[in-house]
């Protein structure tokens, strides 16, 4: 895996981290072993990926039980995503569309009617049932419906990507822009905020145009940063669903210029996130809750960058001095 040289991405948000991170890491390590999500060399790689630090940066203000749940969920989502992405060492999940559709149907059944895992049950389905039962215990039916819809969007995006790979087609930049937030579950991280950080906001505030714009920007920003940070890994895995590679193909760019254009997109949208955050209207009695919600959106953006750059062996890149005006 050759290191990719990246321009330093703009991020004016101050870093934060949950002080309970080590307790959550220890818990999830035991949880991963319980469900055999990683074994042998895969478990060693999982430890090097260090997802617990990412989760602790995403949700810096939540309690320990919520942090444990969020970390378990994040690790499980990465297990699913990795199985779907690697086109060189193809997981059984993506050996055929029938396999993929059967997997999605099984996940949807668990979300519809989760049964507590029995002693000795292992694998993704048992882990999903465990996580979903714990989420249901601390959330409202309305949030659960919304969250299930979000997971369905993730599965639909995975099947869309699978179809593209099978036909050898790449989406346009415009199409990928619309769908990217549902690939890799960036949207799930923002959807978990209300439950994990215990923020209660009415639907009319969550659906306010400024709030929804911030949510979409946050999801996109995690995606554009991740497409840059993970570029070397995805080139090695044969995964072409990456904004850098799609820009490169559509605009007939060199890899270096495509990296610069993807970084410029990130920085443009980060400045928009900064602007909209500063211009939010008053929501009366909910002002403090809205400010916390936006603060946690920002923590996800900053946390994704700090974890990717400093705390995980998952990616291989270097921050260099590539000029952002190179187009």
Question: Angle at CA 100, nearest 5°, toward 94 and 101?
Answer: 160
Other C-beta atoms closer than 10 Å to the C-beta of 280 total: 15
Q: Cα 165 to the chain's mean position, in Å?
A: 21
Taking the C-alpha atoms of residue 177 and residue 174, their distance in angstroms, rounded to an integer, is 5
Which superfamily is assigned to 16-316 in CATH? Answer: Farnesyl Diphosphate Synthase (1.10.600.10)
Taking the C-alpha atoms of residue 270 and residue 248, their distance in angstroms, rounded to an integer, is 22
Place of tokens 């969020």: 70
> Beta strands of the chain (E only): which ranges?
4-6, 317-319
CA of 247: how far to CAs of 16, 283, 314, 318, in Å?
A: 33, 39, 23, 21
pLDDT per residue of the chain (327 residues) written in tens, 0 to 9:
457 899 999 999 999 999 999 999 999 999 999 999 999 999 999 999 999 999 999 999 999 999 999 999 999 999 988 776 554 454 566 567 888 888 889 999 999 999 999 999 999 999 999 999 999 999 999 999 999 999 999 989 988 998 898 899 999 999 999 999 999 788 999 999 999 999 999 999 999 999 999 999 999 999 999 999 999 988 987 889 999 999 999 999 999 999 999 999 999 999 999 999 999 999 999 999 999 999 999 999 999 999 999 999 999 898 865 444 433
CA of 175: how far to CAs of 111, 163, 246, 255, 302, in Å?
A: 28, 14, 10, 20, 26
Please give the pLDDT value at position 2.
Answer: 59
Q: Between 51-58 and 287-306, two packed helices, what is the crossing angle to 10 degrees?
A: 150
The pTM (predicted TM-score) of the whole model is 0.93
- List the structure tokens of 84: 């779907």
Please give the pLDDT value at position 266.
Answer: 98
Taking the C-alpha atoms of residue 231 and residue 7, their distance in angstroms, rounded to an integer, is 13
Return the exposure string of 229-258: e unless at least 16 CB atoms fall within 10 Å of the residue's CB, then b. bbbbbbbebebbbbbbbbbbeeeebeeebb
């Amino acid at each position: 895996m050759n290191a990719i040289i990246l321009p330093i991405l703009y991020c004016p948000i101050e870093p934060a981290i949950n002080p309970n991170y080590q307790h959550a890491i220890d818990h999830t390590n035991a949880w991963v072993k319980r469900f055999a999500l990683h074994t042998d060399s895969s478990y060693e790689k999982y430890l090097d990926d260090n997802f617990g630090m990412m989760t602790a940066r995403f949700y810096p203000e939540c309690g320990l039980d919520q942090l444990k749940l969020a970390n378990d969920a994040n690790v499980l989502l990465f297990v699913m995503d990795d199985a779907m992405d690697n086109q060189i060492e193809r997981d059984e999940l993506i050996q055929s569309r029938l396999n993929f559709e059967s997997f999605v149907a099984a996940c949807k059944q668990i979300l519809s009617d989760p049964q507590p895992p029995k002693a000795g049950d292992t694998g993704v389905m048992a882990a999903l049932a465990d996580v979903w039962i714990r989420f249901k215990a601390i959330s409202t039916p309305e949030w659960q419906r919304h969250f299930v819809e979000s997971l369905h969007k993730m599965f639909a995006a995975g099947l869309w990507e699978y179809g593209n790979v099978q036909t050898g087609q790449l989406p346009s930049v415009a199409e990928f822009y619309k769908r990217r937030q549902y690939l890799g579950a960036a949207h799930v991280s923002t959807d978990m905020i209300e439950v994990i950080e215990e923020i209660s906001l009415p639907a009319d505030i969550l659906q306010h145009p400024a709030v929804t714009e911030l949510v979409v920007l946050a999801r996109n920003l995690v995606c554009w940063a991740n497409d840059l940070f993970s570029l070397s890994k995805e080139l090695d895995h044969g995964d072409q669903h990456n904004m850098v590679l799609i820009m490169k193909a559509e605009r007939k760019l060199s890899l270096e210029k495509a990296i610069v254009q993807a970084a410029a997109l990130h920085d443009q949208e980060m400045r928009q996130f900064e602007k909209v955050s500063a211009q939010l209207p008053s929501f009366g009695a909910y002002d403090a809750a809205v400010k916390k919600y936006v603060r946690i959106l920002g923590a996800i953006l900053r946390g994704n960058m700090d974890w990717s750059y400093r705390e995980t062996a998952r990616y291989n890149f270097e921050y260099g001095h590539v000029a952002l005006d190179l187009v």
